[in-house]
């Protein structure tokens, strides 16, 4: 029998958040080491429990959730999502504009597979949440990264976006609030993106999975609320705002200039029906989550656990000589720059590997977020402060001596 090899479709696909360094961490765990994993934004293992109502709802609905649902999702969940975006002032949305999926991840894949032909280009942020780049590549598209400017609170560089538009550009992707940088885009920036999309006939994909995780009074604007002249695909879900990443509950909303996108929307519908439906018991959590008390606010406001941890992480990182981190305004990550010259670093992956081996702390290197320049890492600030503090002290002592002899 010939060797069984992976498809060439995977040649340019990369998803390093759970890549080789995470595999090394698993190996070390098997050998008996305790690894502090600050690499994945998974709130539950750090004691961020889901609101009780959500759990009760899933348990209550379990006996009647044994069959497939409509492939777009159960009615109650879709109505709840529709109302959620109506409250954000998005005009003209109907129930058929909403597709419930197994997490935002599935909807990212579906949204790109339905859109792209070989060589079609999609503008993606650098740094990005790497599933977006992987989904474009796997769908035969060409990812083209636009610069987000660290000096400007990690906002997208509009001139860079404009300079990268070609006759093959189909869409622009925004992640707002942003993973990994924690940036929260204001209306003025979003309006500029809308203007570019309008001028060049581009679809805007907006991943807003962190839309309720905002600090310091920052407000979220759903870009699709700014105009109905552009075709928008907005994605959201329960994994982060409601701390139930394991439920795999997410959604996709089409809005704006839907007249130009009838064929594409039919394509999404076809892909949704090919996988039957999303996990049915957890779809029932969506209505309860969106309609109920928003306990996430208690975590992100002054005195809230997540905000305190954000402060500990950002402040302690900025106290380490040679490290700089723009304080995140949203989400659950610090994205820190390492002075590569000071530490004589040419490979940020090796740096994260060395940190893992020496301090038993697992982070993700900047290149994993498709950022090809500079030396960065992402740290998840989900652990309690009494775990984060000593971990950051250890990261500080690692950099005190790292490659400085
Ligand atoms: N989009 C972004 C920006 C994310 O950070 C993540 C997970 O970290 C996802 C999507 C995936 O979310 P889900 O759990 O809904 O698949």
In a domain, 2, yes or no: no
207 lines ligand 1 (CB under 6 A): yes
Q: What percent of the chain has pLDDT over 70?
A: 99
> In testing the pocket of ligand 1, which one of 209, 233, 249 has its CB within 8 Å of the most ligand atoms?
209
Buried b (16+ CB within 10 A) or exposed e, 243-278: bbbebbbbbbbbbbbbeebeebbebbbebbeeeebb
Domain boundary, last residue among 265, 291, 317? 291
Rounded distance from Cα 92 to ligand 1 centre (Å): 27
Distances (CA, A) of 84 to 105, 106, 294, 374: 20, 21, 13, 39
**CA of 239, closest atom in ligand 1:** 14
Task: Tell me which residue has its CA closest to atom 8 in ligand 1.
Answer: 41
Rounded distance from Cα 1 to ligand 1 centre (Å): 39
Rounded distance from Cα 210 to ligand 1 centre (Å): 9
pLDDT-derived band at 405, boundaries 50, 70, 90:
low
In a domain, 111, yes or no: yes
Looking at the fold, whether 64 and 177 belong to one and the same domain comes out as yes
- Check if the beta carbon of residue 104 is closer than 8 Å to that of residue 209: yes
Looking at the fold, whether 28 and 174 belong to one and the same domain comes out as no
In a domain, 158, yes or no: yes
pLDDT in tens, 149-183: 999 999 999 999 999 999 999 999 999 999 999 99
pLDDT in tens, 362-376: 999 999 999 999 999
Domain boundary, last residue among 291, 322, 346? 291
pLDDT in tens, 80-135: 999 999 999 997 999 999 999 999 999 999 999 999 999 999 999 999 999 999 99
Rounded distance from Cα 22 to ligand 1 centre (Å): 18
**CA of 249, closest atom in ligand 1:** 15
Looking at the fold, whether 106 and 197 belong to one and the same domain comes out as yes
In a domain, 3, yes or no: no
In a domain, 263, yes or no: yes
Looking at the fold, whether 36 and 116 belong to one and the same domain comes out as no
279 lines ligand 1 (CB under 6 A): no
Residue 357 is given by DSSP the state H
Name beta bridge partners: 338. 323
pLDDT in tens, 282-328: 999 999 999 988 999 999 999 999 999 999 999 999 999 999 999 99
Instruction: Inform me whether the pLDDT recorded for 23 exceeds 70.
Output: yes
In a domain, 43, yes or no: yes
d(C-alpha 80, C-alpha 95), whole Å: 9
Arithmetic mean of pLDDT over the chain: 95
Looking at the fold, whether 81 and 13 belong to one and the same domain comes out as no
Distances (CA, A) of 246 to 62, 172, 238, 249, 282: 16, 28, 9, 8, 10
Rounded distance from Cα 209 to ligand 1 centre (Å): 6
In a domain, 207, yes or no: yes
Looking at the fold, whether 25 and 94 belong to one and the same domain comes out as no
Considering its fold, how many domains does the chain have in total? 2
Looking at the fold, whether 324 and 281 belong to one and the same domain comes out as no
For 36-79, list the strands marked E by DSSP: 36-37
Q: Which domain holds residue 355?
A: 8-49+298-401
Looking at the fold, whether 62 and 201 belong to one and the same domain comes out as yes
245 lines ligand 1 (CB under 6 A): yes
Looking at the fold, whether 229 and 272 belong to one and the same domain comes out as yes
Q: What is the reported pLDDT for 243?
A: 96
**CA of 331, closest atom in ligand 1:** 5
pLDDT in tens, 325-338: 999 999 999 999 99
Looking at the fold, whether 232 and 108 belong to one and the same domain comes out as yes
What number is the ipTM of this complex? Answer: 0.99
175 lines ligand 1 (CB under 6 A): yes
239 lines ligand 1 (CB under 6 A): yes
Looking at the fold, whether 113 and 244 belong to one and the same domain comes out as yes
Rounded distance from Cα 25 to ligand 1 centre (Å): 22
Rounded distance from Cα 227 to ligand 1 centre (Å): 25
Which of 15-24, 117-126, 200-209, 289-298 shows the lowest mean pLDDT across its residues?
A: 15-24
In a domain, 1, yes or no: no
Q: What is the reported pLDDT for 246?
A: 96
176 lines ligand 1 (CB under 6 A): no
d(C-alpha 132, C-alpha 379), whole Å: 20
Domain boundary, last residue among 270, 291, 312? 291
> In testing the pocket of ligand 1, which one of 39, 173, 240, 285 has its CB within 8 Å of the most ligand atoms?
240
Rounded distance from Cα 204 to ligand 1 centre (Å): 18
**CA of 250, closest atom in ligand 1:** 15
Looking at the fold, whether 180 and 268 belong to one and the same domain comes out as yes
Rounded distance from Cα 361 to ligand 1 centre (Å): 22
**CA of 129, closest atom in ligand 1:** 3
d(C-alpha 70, C-alpha 100), whole Å: 10
Q: What is the CATH number of the domain that holds 381?
A: 3.90.1150.10
Q: What is the reported pLDDT for 179?
A: 97
């Amino acid at each position: 029998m010939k060797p069984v090899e992976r498809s060439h479709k995977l040649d340019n696909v990369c998803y390093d958040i759970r890549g080789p360094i995470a595999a090394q961490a698993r190996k070390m765990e098997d050998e008996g080491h305790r690894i502090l994993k600050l690499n994945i934004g998974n709130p539950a293992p750090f004691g961020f429990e889901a609101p009780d109502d959500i759990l009760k709802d899933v348990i209550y609905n379990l006996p009647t959730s044994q069959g497939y649902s409509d492939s777009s999702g159960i009615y109650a969940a879709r109505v709840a999502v529709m109302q959620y975006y109506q409250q954000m002032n998005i005009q003209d949305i109907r129930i058929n504009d909403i597709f419930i999926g197994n997490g935002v991840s599935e909807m990212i894949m579906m949204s790109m597979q339905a859109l792209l032909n070989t060589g079609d280009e999609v503008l993606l942020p650098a740094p990005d949440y790497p599933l977006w780049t992987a989904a474009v590549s796997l769908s035969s598209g060409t990812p083209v990264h636009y610069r987000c400017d660290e000096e400007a609170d990690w906002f997208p560089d509009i001139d860079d976006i404009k300079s990268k538009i070609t006759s093959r550009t189909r869409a622009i992707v925004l992640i707002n609030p942003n993973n990994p940088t924690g940036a929260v885009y204001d209306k003025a920036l979003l309006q500029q993106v809308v203007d570019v999309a309008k001028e060049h006939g581009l679809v805007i994909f907006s991943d807003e999975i962190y839309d309720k995780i905002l600090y310091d009074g920052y407000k979220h604007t759903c870009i699709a609320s700014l105009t109905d002249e552009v075709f928008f695909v907005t994605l959201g879900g329960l994994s982060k705002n409601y701390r139930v990443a394991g439920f795999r509950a997410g959604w996709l909303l089409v809005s704006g200039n839907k007249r130009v996108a009838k064929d594409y929307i039919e394509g999404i519908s076809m892909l949704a029906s090919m996988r039957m439906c999303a996990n049915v018991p957890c779809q029932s959590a969506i209505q309860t989550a969106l309609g109920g008390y928003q306990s996430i606010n208690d975590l992100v406001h002054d005195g809230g656990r997540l905000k305190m941890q954000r402060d500990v992480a950002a402040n302690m990182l900025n106290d380490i000589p040679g490290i700089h981190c723009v304080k995140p305004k949203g989400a659950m990550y610090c994205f820190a720059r390492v002075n590569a010259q000071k530490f004589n670093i040419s490979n940020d992956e090796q740096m994260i590997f060395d940190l893992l081996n020496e301090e038993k702390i697992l982070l993700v290197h900047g290149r994993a977020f498709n950022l090809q320049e500079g030396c960065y890492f992402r740290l998840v600030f989900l652990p309690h402060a009494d775990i984060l503090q000593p971990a950051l002290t250890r990261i500080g002592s690692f950099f005190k001596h790292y490659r400085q002899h």
